[in-house]
Amino acid sequence: MTAGKRSGRETFWMVLTGITGVLILIGLYMSLMWAPTAANLPTVNEQLAQRIFYFHVSAGWVGYVAFGVTAAASVLYLIKRQRRFDNIAVSSAEIGVVFTAANLVSGSIWARPTWNTWWTWDDPRLTLAAIVLMVYIAYLMLRNAIDDPERKARLASIYGIVGFISVPLSFVSVRIWRTIHPAVIGTASETSQGGFDMSGNMVIVLLFSIFTFSLLYFVLLHYRLCLEDQRVELEEYKMAALAEA
Amino acid sequence: MIAIEKLIKAFGLKPVLRGIDLHVPAGQSVALFGPNGAGKTTLIRIIVGLSKHTSGSVKLGGQEVQRAGHGLRRHIGFVGHNPLVYDSLTAEENLIFFGRLYEVQDLPQRIDEVLERVGLYQRRKDLVRTFSRGMVQRLAIARAILHDPPILMLDEPDTGLDQQAADMLRGLLLEIGASDRTVLLTTHNLERGIEWADRALILNGGKIRYDSPTTDMTGAGFRVVYTDVLAESAQRTREVAR
Amino acid sequence: MSFLRKVMAIVWKDVRAELRTKDILSSMLVFSFLTVLIFQFAFDLRTSVVNLVLPGVLWIAITFAGVLGLNRSFILEQDRGSMEGLLMAPMDRSAIYFGKLIGNLLFIFVMELVLLPLMTVMFNVSLLAPAILLVVFLGTIGYAAVGTLFAALSINTRAREVMLPVLLFPVMVPVFVAGVQATGRLLDGDTLADIARWVQLLAAYDGIFIAAAMILFDYVVEE
């Protein structure tokens, strides 16, 4: 057991977790208090709701990054056949699902005061997020329906790749759809209804928020991977015990 | 023809084959015996390329099975637990289909020849669905020898055969045994296996436990090992159950 | 050349068996017709709204009925273990994919050739225009391309029949959106040039996923 090295790595992740926690608190302060109010929004409700934007965009960003990581890890798994890559793929997909769901819920909360509706199919980004969420829920369901670990990893990798390829095509399809279709509620995008001008400080807060969320993603991915490693190890002990019999 | 070295196969961490070394020269017929779960089917599936091994090497005619192109598969004929024929097609149509996949020359004549050989010529226009188990097995054998493969892998080909079909298979195997084909077959029927083959192997617990030419079977060695192996296997089954 | 001959041998085998049993075609036809009927009852498709709803009904019928055929294509091979026979044949395994894809396409096209005239008569709209046929043709290819790959994948799962639509539908959103939108606009009197973007999207989808499936199919069937 390389105790020194291992504890060094553990210290690194503990420090990083702590830093992420502090950054989240700073981020909350920045987005809720420090960031300037979007002056051109007509009502106070809309101005307050606009502050969810920092959270909403960052969560969406992490979702897509996570799914990109899943696709890359899936390709690597099919080439290298190392369990590690499949662990990364599934861990990242789970985190991606959580953040994409957070993106949808926060979008919905923001939409209520701004567009006067919880949900609109007229916004291509919202629609796309819903489709992508379904792709990765299907990915997790597929994994759940296969027992053999090797087969699970292999088939899930295939779906992880095909699913990721479909995302830009889905985006193009909802984009074309909503730019040529007469909008039913309000207008097609948030830049016209509930849109606002980004001042310099807003950009800073947004970038800070995206950075913090990305850091959170890596920390979560690390812990999820540790969990997966332990689960695999446990499974191996079980199999070894069975083989012994 | 078949060269297997240090072959290990594990499903997950459960080892099924624990280091097999086996060389079968061209033209030899080998009978593989062993209790259920000994790894016979796994071994055959690895040789025909249906399953991937964990480590070691498996070569057919000098070519590594897992790395060779699909051309190597043309040299193998296989009869497995599944008949690999289609219910909704006639016997003849089944062979037309596989003949096309294997690019068999002069296919119509070859099909007649093979059907004649397994005694299904009269029923060639009938749907496989109407066949008895024995007839399906005959067709499965016809399918396996259709492309005249130099290597034949037969996994319990005598299962489900009636006496007449078993006689047909016996004649066929003796004929093949006399030719320069390489045959590996598994069976639970000791007498038949020994009669058909030049060499007998006993596989148990993922290892070869007995290996000797069938001409040298007069000694009690073979039967003693086989009885031991069966007892061990029964013992293990009881332990697992407990 | 020999690759193509083997692909066609697989198609011939599947078509031959299907012509005898008619399992796939009959179930797809009846199911697609039932789907249309259910929508008729649900929306009371009168002429005033029919153009709004009909494209959706058409594509839902194709999608739902198509799943039945896609599922059968590999379940039939797996249940009798005959997939092994295909895997052991001396050919690139993508030949199995293309054989099954072409077979599935043929069955779905036959279903559409019955469904389209039927809906044309039942709802008094012209679904048999060449432009609509082109859209249906391209959409069906993309649908079957991904569907055939996923059908091979889902037979290896526990809930195999149920798994296919769950896997397939989110990924085929572009086909569905493009199919419904393009069909609707053509019914509204637009020309093929007006919907060029949809046709391009469908063609791109077909090309991308046939290429992806060709590469990935090997990994699906290896064991």
The phi and psi torsions of B166 (rounded to 5 degrees) equal -65, -40
Cα(A79)–Cα(A88) distance, rounded to whole angstroms?
A: 15
Residue A185 has pLDDT above 60, yes or no: no
| Bridge partners (DSSP) listed for residue B9 | B17
Cα(C66)–Cα(C151) distance, rounded to whole angstroms?
A: 11
Give percent helix, percent strand, percent coil of chain A, each to the nearest 5: 80, 0, 20
Q: What is the pLDDT of residue C222?
A: 81
Residue A191 has pLDDT above 60, yes or no: no
Q: C122-155: per-residue pLDDT in tens?
A: 888 888 989 999 999 999 999 999 999 999 999 9
Contact status, residue B229 vs residue B43, Cβ threshold 8 Å? no
Which residues from B are below 8 Å from A243, CB to CB?
A: 13-15
Q: What is the pLDDT of residue B166?
A: 82
Residue A54 has pLDDT above 90, yes or no: no
Contact status, residue C209 vs residue A162, Cβ threshold 8 Å? yes
Residue A213 has pLDDT above 70, yes or no: yes
- Greatest mean pLDDT range, A238-242, B238-242, C98-102: C98-102
Q: What is the pLDDT of residue C210?
A: 96
Q: Which residue of A has its CA nearest to B205?
A: A243
CA dihedral sign, ordered C2, C7, C8, C14: positive
Q: Which residue of A has its CA nearest to C223?
A: A151
What percentage of chain A reaches a pLDDT higher than 70? 85
Q: Which of A176, A179, A184 to mutate to test the interface with C (most CBs of C within 10 A)?
A: A176
Rounded to the nearest 10 degrees, the angle between the axes of helix C23-43 and helix C47-79 is 150
Q: Which of A135, A141, A147 sits opposite C171 (nearest CB)?
A: A135
Q: B60-118: per-residue pLDDT in tens?
A: 988 888 888 788 889 999 998 888 999 999 999 999 999 999 999 999 999 999 999 88
C131 vs A53, residue with greater confidence: C131
Q: What is the pLDDT of residue A4?
A: 53
| C-contacting chains (≥3 CB pairs under 8 Å) | A, B
**Strand, coil or helix: C136:** helix
Residue in the structure block whose two tokens are 């039942």: C122
B212 vs A215, residue with greater confidence: A215
Cα(C191)–Cα(B86) distance, rounded to whole angstroms?
A: 47
B188 vs A192, residue with greater confidence: B188
The phi and psi torsions of B124 (rounded to 5 degrees) equal -65, -25
Of the CA atoms within 13 Å of residue A63, those in its CB half-sphere come to 27
- A234 interface with B at CB cutoff 8 Å: no
| Bridge partners (DSSP) listed for residue C148 | none
Compute and round to an integer the Cα radius of gyration of chain B.
Answer: 18
Q: What is the pLDDT of residue C136?
A: 96
Q: What is the pLDDT of residue B103?
A: 93
A74 vs C192, residue with greater confidence: A74
The amino acid occupying position A155 is L
For residue A10, give both structure tokens.
Answer: 């553990």
For residue C64, give both structure tokens.
Answer: 């739902």
Q: Which of A172, A80, A75, A93 is nearest to A134 (CA)?
A: A93
Burial code (b: 16+ CB inside 10 Å, e: under 16) for C14-37 equals: bebbbeeeeebbeebbebbbebbe
Q: What is the 3-state secondary structure (H, E, C) of chain B?
A: CEEEEEEEEEECCEEEEEEEEEEECCCCEEEEECCCCCCHHHHHHHHHCCCCCCEEEEEECCEECCCCCHHHHHHEEEECCCCCCCCCCEHHHHHHHHHHHCCCCCHHHHHHHHHHHHCCHHHCCCEHHHCCHHHHHHHHHHHHHCCCCCEEEEECCCCCCCHHHHHHHHHHHHHHHHCCCEEEEECCCHHHHHHHCCEEEEEECCEEEEEEEHHHCCCCHHHHHHHHHHHHHHHHHHHHHC
Burial class (CB in 10 A: 0-12, 13-18, 19+), B234: exposed
Residue A35 has pLDDT above 80, yes or no: no
Q: In what order do the strands lie in the sheet with B63-64?
A: B14-24, B2-11, B55-60, B63-64
Contact status, residue C58 vs residue C129, Cβ threshold 8 Å? no
| B-contacting chains (≥3 CB pairs under 8 Å) | A, C
Q: What is the pLDDT of residue A221?
A: 93
Q: What is the pLDDT of residue B242?
A: 62
Contact status, residue C115 vs residue C40, Cβ threshold 8 Å? no
Q: What is the pLDDT of residue B112?
A: 94
What percentage of chain A reaches a pLDDT higher than 90? 37
- A202 falls in which pLDDT band (50, 70, 90)? confident
A113 vs A188, residue with greater confidence: A113
Q: C8-59: per-residue pLDDT in tens?
A: 999 999 999 999 989 899 999 999 999 999 988 887 766 667 788 889 999 9
Q: What is the pLDDT of residue A190?
A: 44
- A237 falls in which pLDDT band (50, 70, 90)? confident
Q: What is the pLDDT of residue A189?
A: 45
What is the pLDDT averaged over residues B157-180? Answer: 80
Residue A242 has pLDDT above 70, yes or no: no
B16 vs A66, residue with greater confidence: A66
B76: Cβ–Cβ under 8 A, 6 or more apart, which residues?
Answer: B47, B48, B49, B60, B149, B151, B152, B153, C88
Residue A188 has pLDDT above 50, yes or no: no
Which residues from C are below 8 Å from A172, CB to CB?
A: 174, 201
Q: What is the pLDDT of residue A245?
A: 55
